[in-house]
């Protein structure tokens, strides 16, 4: 293995440069640009440290690739895969995906949407491998980053990966739906797991004017917080599929796998309120609306999704948070 490890640092640097190019290409294909600070973060933070092993689909299930494999060809596959612009399955139990490392270009879109500024304090819901938190640490400094997960094993693993990369943010075991009051207030909250509605503790732990970014249905909802019980915002243009939040609010709906992707998004928002025929009729009548036409309002103890206008005719209550 010695020769391979001698070549490892150079191969890793090349792979990071290739990843940055791929991330920029994918983001620009969506009509966006990648800010220089995030290009630097993806170039400097070594993703392979956060995925010392991962799983790839195979004929008989999942195949495990890892950094310590005795076969060089499999180690090369592991390193190459770690820097592909794709999501990686990192925890599988009884054939069920429990945790994954998100696609880097999707991370870039989310990080840019957060619009963080120097001095901002960020709460991340869903520690995952720790890679997303590391990117935030690179931009803001580790003292401004808190990442939270319900699973003690995931938290310990993320903490180990972050330390290996030189970052020591607050990595905490806890129910993501309840946030992390002891580290509040926050300027940004970002979830890397899907929610069925907006947990109220997140808003209560935010400063006025904070942004909350969370996967809901098959989209990414960006809310501006007014105060502890009021927030409003729209969905980003991109699609997004995340593992559901586990814990008090972890009852995310499962949109239908078949059909037009934009209809699946609508069905994920309104499936508990409209039957499928009503939802399809609305979708066709409104000419297959894009995600950006939809939004969510939180007001007091109510929250609802809507099309075009929070007070308009098309509005649907979200589940209790």
Q: Is the pLDDT assigned to residue 252 strictly greater than 50?
A: no
Count of structural domains within the chain: 1
Q: Could you tell me the residue range of the domain that residue 71 belongs to? A: 2-101
Kindly list the strands in the beta sheet with 145-149, ordered across the sheet, starting from the edge strand earlier in the chain. Answer: 170-173, 145-149, 122-125, 186-191, 206-216, 219-227, 230-235, 294-299, 302-307, 315-317
Rounded distance between C-alpha atoms, residue 315 and residue 269, angstroms: 10
Q: Which one is catalytic: 67, 99, 105, 239? A: 99
Q: What is the pLDDT of residues 116-131, one digit of tens each?
A: 999 999 999 999 999 9
* 256 in a structural domain: no
* 94 in a structural domain: yes
Binned at pLDDT 50, 70 and 90, residue 242 comes out as: confident
* 155 in a structural domain: no
Binned at pLDDT 50, 70 and 90, residue 115 comes out as: very high
* 156 in a structural domain: no
Strands 170-173 and 145-149 turn out to be parallel
Q: Is the pLDDT assigned to residue 202 strictly greater than 60?
A: yes
Rounded distance between C-alpha atoms, residue 146 and residue 127, angstroms: 9
* 273 in a structural domain: no
* Catalytic status, residue 80: no
- Are the C-beta atoms of 240 and 188 separated by less than 8 Å? no
* 275 in a structural domain: no
- Listed range (28-32, 142-146, 200-204, 281-285) with the worst mean pLDDT: 28-32
């Amino acid at each position: 293995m010695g020769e391979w490890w001698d070549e490892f640092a150079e191969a890793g640097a090349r792979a990071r440069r290739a990843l940055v190019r791929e991330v920029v290409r994918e983001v620009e294909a969506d009509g966006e640009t990648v800010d220089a600070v995030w290009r630097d973060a993806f170039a400097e933070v070594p993703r392979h440290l956060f995925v010392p092993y991962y799983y790839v689909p195979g004929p008989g299930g999942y195949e495990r690739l890892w950094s310590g494999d005795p076969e060089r060809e499999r180690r090369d596959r592991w390193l190459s895969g770690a820097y592909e612009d794709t999501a990686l399955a990192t925890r599988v139990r009884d054939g069920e995906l429990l945790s994954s490392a998100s696609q880097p270009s999707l991370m870039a879109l989310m990080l840019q949407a957060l619009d963080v500024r120097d001095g901002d304090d960020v709460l991340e819901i869903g520690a995952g491998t720790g890679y997303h938190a590391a990117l935030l640490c690179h931009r803001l400094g580790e003292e401004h980053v808190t990442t939270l997960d319900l699973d003690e094993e995931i938290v310990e693993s993320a903490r180990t990966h972050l330390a290996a990369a030189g970052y020591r943010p607050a990595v905490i075991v806890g129910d993501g739906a309840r946030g992390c009051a002891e580290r509040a207030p926050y300027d940004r909250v970002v979830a890397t797991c899907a929610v069925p509605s907006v947990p109220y503790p997140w808003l209560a732990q935010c400063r006025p004017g904070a942004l909350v970014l969370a996967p809901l249905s098959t989209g990414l909802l960006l809310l501006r917080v007014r105060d502890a019980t009021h927030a409003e915002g729209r969905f980003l243009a991109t699609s997004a599929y995340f593992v559901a939040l586990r814990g008090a609010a972890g009852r995310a709906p499962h949109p239908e796998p078949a059909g037009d992707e934009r209809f699946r998004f609508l069905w994920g928002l309104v499936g508990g309120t409209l039957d499928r025929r009503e939802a399809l009729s609305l979708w066709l009548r409104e000419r297959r609306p894009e995600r950006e036409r939809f939004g969510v309002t939180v007001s007091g103890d109510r929250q609802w999704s809507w099309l075009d206008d929070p007070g308009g005719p098309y509005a649907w209550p979200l589940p209790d948070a």
